[in-house]
Amino acid sequence: LKELYVAESKRRSGIGGQLMRAVFTAATENECSRVEWQTELANAAARAFYSYLGGKELEGKVLYRVES
């Protein structure tokens, strides 16, 4: 899954939590060992939401990108 996006007008309605729980359920049903995702450090709302879902911020991860 590349991206999961909730339109701004639908945020804080519970749909984001439902979508993420569906991802977690699909991962469990397919014997995945984990679900990982990322957000911008400055996105405090997303970070709070992910923490609410039980996500733990990982130290020691660095994102690299090469654009063509």
Please tell me whether residue 19 adopts helix, strand or coil conformation: helix
Range 4-30 average pLDDT = 94
Q: What is the CATH number of the domain that holds 46?
A: 3.40.630.30
Q: What pLDDT digit, counting tens, does each position of 41-63 carry?
A: 999 999 999 999 999 999 888 88
What are the φ and ψ backbone dihedral angles of 24, each rounded to 5 degrees? -60, -45
Question: Global pTM?
Answer: 0.81
What Rg do the C-alpha atoms of the chain give, in angstroms? 13
Q: Which domain holds residue 11?
A: 1-68
Number of domains in the chain: 1
